[in-house]
Amino acid sequence: MNVPPQRDPSENLPPLLANFPVALPLPVIWGDQDAFGHVNNTVFLRWFEAARVAYLERIGLDRMPPAARTGPILARVTCDFRRQVNYPDQVTIGAKVARLGNTSLTMHHAIFSAAQQAVVAEGDSVVVLFDYEEQRPISLPESLRAAIRALEGAPEL
Amino acid sequence: MNVPPQRDPSENLPPLLANFPVALPLPVIWGDQDAFGHVNNTVFLRWFEAARVAYLERIGLDRMPPAARTGPILARVTCDFRRQVNYPDQVTIGAKVARLGNTSLTMHHAIFSAAQQAVVAEGDSVVVLFDYEEQRPISLPESLRAAIRALEGAPEL
Amino acid sequence: MNVPPQRDPSENLPPLLANFPVALPLPVIWGDQDAFGHVNNTVFLRWFEAARVAYLERIGLDRMPPAARTGPILARVTCDFRRQVNYPDQVTIGAKVARLGNTSLTMHHAIFSAAQQAVVAEGDSVVVLFDYEEQRPISLPESLRAAIRALEGAPEL
Amino acid sequence: MNVPPQRDPSENLPPLLANFPVALPLPVIWGDQDAFGHVNNTVFLRWFEAARVAYLERIGLDRMPPAARTGPILARVTCDFRRQVNYPDQVTIGAKVARLGNTSLTMHHAIFSAAQQAVVAEGDSVVVLFDYEEQRPISLPESLRAAIRALEGAPEL
C-alpha cells in the first residue's frame, strides 16, 4: 500500500493555521471554477467537508451508516468568503472543535491560500451525533469528548 | 425557442413558500446523493445558488463579469439542515431579500421537499455588489433598490 | 406524498428523442457552467447517469448495494459533444438499450436542448451486472432481459 | 508566492505511468463518493479534465475565451472503468497525446491508484482547436504541433 501516511499537522502548516489540530492540503483544480472564472462557492463547502471528515477520522467518528447505526450529521454550516480563489492554487483547510454541546459539536474552519498567503474563507460546521435508526440526536459519549480534548490539547472543552 | 417561460411564482407554489417572491423548482437527481445515501450538503448550497441567481435575474443583476465590470459576489452563506433529503424527490427553493444594506443585500432561502411536504433547510446569502476591476464593494444603486422593493412588495425595505 | 408521478414518456417528448423509451427532462442550472461560461463536460455525464438510473428503475434494477448484494456497475462511458449548452436551458436526456450481452448491456443516450431544438450530445454507457461481494460480473437474468425487451418494444434484443 | 512549483514528471511517477509526459497527482476526497460508497463516475471525468488542462498548459494552450478568441474545446471523451476507487486514496492521472489531426488532437489518459497500485481507469479525450467567435474548428498551428512533439519526445507525431 502506497497511500500517503497520515499527515503530520506540524509539517508545512501555514502559520495562520497554527492553532488548528487538523489541516488538510488540497490542490485547486480547473473544474473548481465557475462562470465567474474563480472557485465556486460550493467548492469551499466541499473543502470544509473534506477537513471535517479528516477531523472526525482522527477522533474515531468516521464509521458511517449504513455500516454503523449512529454517525455524525451536519446540522448547520456557515462560510464567510473573504477573498476570491483562482486556479491554479493550493489551499489548506483547518478544522478545530470550538465548542462541545450535549449532542453536538461546533467545528471552526479556515481556508488558507498558498498563492495569496492569506486566509480566504472562514466558517463553522455544527455536527450532531445522530441515531439514524431512531432519527434523533444522541449524547456525545465521554470517550469522544476525551478524544477531542486530547487532539485539541484543550482540557477545558 | 422552446425555453420554458419564466415561471409564474403563484403557480404551484408550496404554501410554505408563499412569502417568497422567487421560487425555483428543481428535481433531486441520483448523483446528488453522497456516501450516506442522502443528498449531500453542498447540493443544498448549489440549490441556494440557483435560486439566488434566479432572483438576481429578476432584478436585472445577472450581467456577470467579464461582460460587466461590476456584479454580485457572495460574501457569506449559511444553511440550517432540518431534514435529510432522499432521491427521488422534487424540491422548490425560495429566495427573498430580507435586508438591504449600503453595498450588500441579505437574501433568505428555504428549501421545500415535495416528498416530505416540509421545509428541509433554511439559510441566508449575503450578496455584495462588487467592482471587479477595483476589487471593492460599491453602493447598491437606487434603481436596484426600487426593483427589489417592487418584487418583494415591500416599500419599507 | 406529492412526489411528481412517473413521467409518461409520450408526453412532451422531443420528436428527436421519439425512439427512446425513457427520457428525463432536467433544467440547466447556473452552477452547471464552468470557466468557459458554458455547461461543463462532466455535467453531461451526470445527465447520462440520471437517465441511466431512471431506465434501471423502470426495469427493476435500482436496488443498490449495500441493500442488495448485486447491482449495476458502470464499465465504460463515452460522450460526443456536438454543441455547447448554455444557461438557461432545459434538456431532455434519452436512454435506450442498444445491445444485450451476457453480463452487460449497452445503453445509448442523447441529450436534447430545448433552447437549440437540437441534440447537443450523444453517448453510450456499458452497464455490467455485478456481484459486489464476489467482485465479479454475473449473467443478466432472463427476467431482466424480458423487462428490457418489453420496455423497448424490441423482441429481437 | 508559495504556489507549488511545476511538478517534475520524473519525480515519484508511478512506473505504470512512465510513458505519460504529464502526470497529475490528486487526493481522493470524501465528497468524491456517491451512494454506492465509491468514487462517482463523473469524478473520473473531472480528473481527466484536470490532467488535460495541465497538459494544455504545458504546450501553451491554456489561454481561454473570453480572454482569447480561440481555444480548446472537448469534442469527445471516453472512459473505461477498470476498478472501483475508494476513499481515502491518492490518484495520479496521466495525459499524453496519442494522435495529431488537422484541427484536433487525441489525448490518452490513465488513472493510477496508490492504494491499489494499479491503473483503475483509462480513456481518451478528443480536443478540437476552436474559433469561438466563428464557432468552427481551426487548424492546429505548427508551433503547437512542435510543442507537443517536443513534450512527447515523439518527432513522428
Tell whether D117 lies on the interface with A, counting CB pairs under 8 A.
yes
In this structure, what DSSP letter does residue C152 have?
Answer: H
Tell whether C67 lies on the interface with B, counting CB pairs under 8 A.
no
Least Cα distance to A34 among D61, D57, B44, C37 occurs for C37
Q: Do A36 and B78 touch (CB under 8 A)?
A: no
Determine the pLDDT at residue D11: 56
D46: nearest CB among A4, A27, A31: A31
Q: Is the pLDDT of residue C6 over 50?
A: no
Tell whether B67 lies on the interface with C, counting CB pairs under 8 A.
no
- pLDDT (average), residues A3-21: 69
The shortest C-alpha distance from A75 to chain D (Å) reads 17
First-to-last alpha carbon distance for chain D, in angstroms, is 37
Tell whether B33 lies on the interface with D, counting CB pairs under 8 A.
yes
More confident residue, C75 or B157: C75
Cell, residue A139: 449524547
**Residue C43 to residue D45: CA distance in whole angstroms:** 10
Q: Do C35 and A33 touch (CB under 8 A)?
A: yes
**Residue C125 to residue C90: CA distance in whole angstroms:** 22
Tell whether C155 lies on the interface with D, counting CB pairs under 8 A.
no
Alpha helices in chain A (DSSP H): 41-58, 142-152
The shortest C-alpha distance from C142 to chain D (Å) reads 25
Cell, residue A22: 487538523
Are B33 and C62 contacting, i.e. CB atoms less than 8 angstroms apart?
Answer: no
pLDDT tens-digit series, residues A123-156: 999 999 999 889 899 999 999 999 999 999 999 8
Determine the pLDDT at residue C65: 52
C115: nearest CB among B1, B29, B88: B1
Are A139 and A106 contacting, i.e. CB atoms less than 8 angstroms apart?
Answer: no
The shortest C-alpha distance from B140 to chain A (Å) reads 19
Tell whether A62 lies on the interface with D, counting CB pairs under 8 A.
no
Cell, residue B114: 415535495
* CB pairs < 8 Å spanning B and C: 51
Q: Which pTM was predicted?
A: 0.92
Least Cα distance to D17 among D126, D71, D93, D131 occurs for D93
Determine the pLDDT at residue C133: 87
pLDDT tens-digit series, residues A61-118: 876 555 678 899 999 999 999 999 999 999 999 999 999 999 999 999 999 999 999 9
Chain C residues inside the 8 Å CB shell of A33: 34-35
In this structure, what DSSP letter does residue B29 have?
Answer: -
Please state the φ and ψ torsions of residue B86, each to the nearest 5 degrees.
-115, 155
Peptide bond into B88 cis (omega under 30): yes
pLDDT beneath 70, residues of chain B? 1-12, 63-67
Chain A residues inside the 8 Å CB shell of C37: 35
Q: Do D37 and B33 touch (CB under 8 A)?
A: no
Determine the pLDDT at residue A66: 54
Q: Do C35 and A34 touch (CB under 8 A)?
A: yes
The shortest C-alpha distance from B149 to chain C (Å) reads 24
Q: Which helix (H) or strand (E) holds D155?
A: none
**Residue C54 to residue C56: CA distance in whole angstroms:** 6
**Residue B140 to residue B59: CA distance in whole angstroms:** 12
Q: Is the pLDDT of residue C9 over 90?
A: no
Tell whether D137 lies on the interface with C, counting CB pairs under 8 A.
no
Tell whether C116 lies on the interface with A, counting CB pairs under 8 A.
no
pLDDT tens-digit series, residues C44-65: 999 999 999 999 999 988 765 5
If phi over 0 gives left and psi between -120 and 50 gives alpha, with beta otherwise, what is residue C53? alpha
**Residue D105 to residue D98: CA distance in whole angstroms:** 8
Chain A residues inside the 8 Å CB shell of C30: 35
Task: Going from the first residue of chain D to its last (157 residues), give the mean pLDDT of each consecutive group of 10, the final group possibly shorter.
Answer: 43 85 97 96 98 96 68 96 97 98 98 97 97 91 94 93
- The three-point CA angle C57-C58-C64 to 5° equals 20
Please state the φ and ψ torsions of residue D120, each to the nearest 5 degrees.
-100, -15
Determine the pLDDT at residue C132: 87
3-state class (DSSP) for residue D41: helix
Chain D residues inside the 8 Å CB shell of B33: 34-35
Q: Is the pLDDT of residue C123 over 80?
A: yes
Tell whether A74 lies on the interface with D, counting CB pairs under 8 A.
no
Peptide bond into D66 cis (omega under 30): yes
**Residue D145 to residue D126: CA distance in whole angstroms:** 15
Chain B residues inside the 8 Å CB shell of D37: 35
Where are any strands of DSSP class E within chain A?
A: 22-27, 70-81, 90-100, 104-113, 118-131, 136-137
Are A95 and A51 contacting, i.e. CB atoms less than 8 angstroms apart?
Answer: yes
Max mean pLDDT among C1-5, C69-73, D46-50 falls in: D46-50
Tell whether B66 lies on the interface with A, counting CB pairs under 8 A.
yes
Q: Do D33 and B31 touch (CB under 8 A)?
A: no
